[in-house]
Structure 1
Amino acid sequence: MLVEDRGQCPDQEVAVRGIGSLSVSSSPLRIVEISPPDIACRRLSNWGNIQADDVRVIRRETFEDGFQAQRHLLIAYERAERFDGETLIEGLPKSTLREFNCKLSFVPAGHRFYGWQTPRVLTRVTYIYLDPPDPLFDRGSGVACPTISPRLFFFDQAVWNTAVKLKAEVGNFGPISREYAEALSLVLMHELFRLERNVRSTACPVRGGLPAWQQKRVVEFIEEHLAEDISLAALARLVDLSLYHFARAFTQSFGAPPHRYHMARRMDLAKSLLQRPALSVTQIGARIGFRESSSFTRAFRKFSGLTPTEYRRHRED
């Protein structure tokens, strides 16, 4: 097992090329490139078909990260909040989500990942690199290796738990650690396959509406990006439909147009946050994507008939 402990001092950071457009790393381990490279301490463990890269950002300044290789990348964000930035996985709309603590992202082999951010907190993230699964599966067992779709800022408890176990093995030596990590990699691939199957398993269409798997994909995306403006085109691309067909099918399935559904889910979250006295109305509005508290108040009153302050007062009575 190769273990590179890069977390002690800046001059021992993982060496990557300078990033302009973040080209693919020339390292034989094909790891995520971070620029500037000395902004992060990294500890990298290699167990053959799987590697784990424990990364700790040490300065609050703008940095980039990028990756593209013929291997899968699972990203586990332990702590991640930014003042500004964006994240893109090829095949999905870009995201400007500001808080993604305890979120996961999956980049399939061959897909490009790119992000930049001005961090609000010192980022902690684990990159897990998985070679395509053929070597991990017995070809005679009949276990299929389906294509796994890209996923940005999602959460699944089983995947998260396995990622945490792999992170805990970084720095451990010996054949037992290697065997354990390889077993975890097999479990992780099955968990990712399970997620993909769950999306596709219920594909019976609602008459005139979206099939269940398309409904699930769109709803998950909206939930993961509640605080952002989501275009109709971005949602339609998720399920490969024209704007007109998607808007009509979505309304048929959910009883409201996409924009109104998205706004209603924002207001549901606001109602939940208003039950937390420590948060001000301005803070809640900002958390769900409103830069001005007056805009939040107008939108909330339109959906609930009360201002946020009135709603909070009624809940306290």
Structure 2
Amino acid sequence: MEQTELLDLQGVAQPPRRMLRKHSGFSVETVRPDLGAAFSYDWTSNLHFCAYHDIVLEDGGIRAGDGAEDNRRDLRHTLTYVPRGARVSGWSSLSRRKNSFTAIYFDPASMREELGARFIERADEKVYYRSEEVEGYMRQWARLLAQDHSDGLYEEALGLVTVLAIHKASTYEFKAGRPLGRASLALVEEFIDENLGSDLTLSALAEITGLSRFHFSRAFKSATGETPYQRVLRRRMERAKLLMASGEMSINQIAECLGFQDASYFQRTFRSWVGMSVKEFRDRR
């Protein structure tokens, strides 16, 4: 039984395509094996693991912990949850379709501190179960990981609510965080305005207030009516309109100045947020 951080697929003719994002306390990946690939796995980890499946099998079986082998074939829209220290083993022969799974790996000690939640010490493994809430978050992750660009601030927040959703069915105590005072809020707003061109992270914003990322997100939305991600986007779009109105910078320069990885991503975001294209906005002057 091999212990690795990420689930290792053994015996594949060609290594699967893996799209991975790492953040403090958790990692998320989408794995896409070749059409009709066959593989096995025998794995344990010191991280909790939850996978969302978009997979149809020709044949296969999975065993988690001390449970019996499960031989279901159509795994679409199902989840598998394996807590740290539990063994998961099995084999799969995939159908000739575009199969994939998206998995989140997280450190329970780190998440306990972040969320103010005391999770039960020994959670049960769950194979091919359903949860609309967790599925919704994992489908968001699958779409994000398929994109060329990333947004650390949004992904940090999404990771935290995903972990909390995974554990909602477990017994935990939830401790409400303290509210965000006016002075702390002013410092956060100032930091955002001064760093719109940087890769702003939830960790950096939370550190200003002394709150965990999760409690900062809740407190910020309670105080402003917006998530930190929405506020940063709003300020970037407001700054973009000012820069475009001045006519002194190109679209590429404005995108770079506001922390966007490429001009096309900036233009898509601008249209979505402002309700018109960059060209339409400039033509109004």
When the two structures are superposed, what TM-score results if normalisation uses the length of structure 2?
0.53
CA distance in 2 between partners of 1:152 and 1:161 (Å) = 18
Percent of matched pairs sharing the same residue: 17
CA distance in 1 between partners of 2:148 and 2:37 (Å) = 31
Compared CA separation, residues 127 and 145, structure 1 to 2 (3 A): same
Partner of residue 106 from structure 1, selected from 81, 92, 103: 81
CA distance in 2 between partners of 1:87 and 1:138 (Å) = 32
2:119·2:171 contact (CA, 8 Å) conserved in 1? no
Residue 190 of structure 1: aligned partner: 164
Runs of 4+ in 1 over 4 A off after TM superposition: 171-174
Q: Which amino acid aligns with 1:180?
A: Y
Alpha-carbon offset, residue 181 of structure 1 = 2.3
Partner of residue 58 from structure 1, selected from 34, 38, 42: 34
Q: Deviations over 1:7-30 (max 9, x none)?
A: xxxxxxxxxxxxxxx6223xxxx1
Tell me which of the two structures has the higher relative contact order, counting C-alpha pairs closer than 8 angstroms and 6 or more residues apart: 2
Alpha-carbon offset, residue 189 of structure 1 = 2.4
Number of residue equivalences: 168
CA distance in 2 between partners of 1:56 and 1:193 (Å) = 26
1:149·1:196 contact (CA, 8 Å) conserved in 2? no
- Partner of 2:140, secondary structure, is helix
1:130·1:185 contact (CA, 8 Å) conserved in 2? no
Alpha-carbon offset, residue 143 of structure 1 = 3.1
> Map of 1:159-308 to 2, 5 A cutoff?
159-170=134-145, 177-197=151-171
Alpha-carbon offset, residue 63 of structure 1 = 1.1
Alignment of 1:69 with 2:45, yes or no, is: yes
Alpha-carbon offset, residue 124 of structure 1 = 1.1
Partner of residue 41 from structure 1, selected from 14, 17, 23: 17
Compared CA separation, residues 164 and 183, structure 1 to 2 (3 A): same
2:79·2:129 contact (CA, 8 Å) conserved in 1? yes
1:65·1:115 contact (CA, 8 Å) conserved in 2? yes
Compared CA separation, residues 146 and 186, structure 1 to 2 (3 A): farther
Q: Which amino acid aligns with 2:20?
A: L
Residue 24 of structure 1: aligned partner: 3
Please list every run of 5 or more consecutive structure 1 residues that lacks an aligned counterpart in the other structure. Answer: 1-21, 199-317
Compared CA separation, residues 92 and 126, structure 1 to 2 (3 A): same
2:18·2:31 contact (CA, 8 Å) conserved in 1? yes
Compared CA separation, residues 193 and 61, structure 1 to 2 (3 A): closer
- Partner of 1:65, secondary structure, is strand
CA distance in 2 between partners of 1:197 and 1:33 (Å) = 30
1:89·1:112 contact (CA, 8 Å) conserved in 2? yes
- Partner of 2:85, secondary structure, is coil
Residue 94 of structure 1: aligned partner: 69
Partner of residue 111 from structure 2, selected from 114, 119, 136: 136
Residue 234 of structure 2: aligned partner: none
2:36·2:93 contact (CA, 8 Å) conserved in 1? yes
CA distance in 1 between partners of 2:88 and 2:111 (Å) = 24
Alpha-carbon offset, residue 180 of structure 1 = 2.4
Q: Which amino acid aligns with 1:58?
A: D
- Partner of 1:36, secondary structure, is coil
Alpha-carbon offset, residue 142 of structure 1 = 5.7
Please list every run of 5 or more consecutive structure 2 residues that lacks an aligned counterpart in the other structure. Answer: 173-285
Partner of residue 116 from structure 1, selected from 69, 91, 96: 91
CA distance in 2 between partners of 1:138 and 1:45 (Å) = 21
Compared CA separation, residues 98 and 45, structure 1 to 2 (3 A): same
CA distance in 1 between partners of 2:68 and 2:106 (Å) = 24
CA distance in 1 between partners of 2:149 and 2:86 (Å) = 31
Alpha-carbon offset, residue 161 of structure 1 = 0.8
- Partner of 2:71, secondary structure, is coil
1:52·1:167 contact (CA, 8 Å) conserved in 2? no
CA distance in 2 between partners of 1:32 and 1:51 (Å) = 12
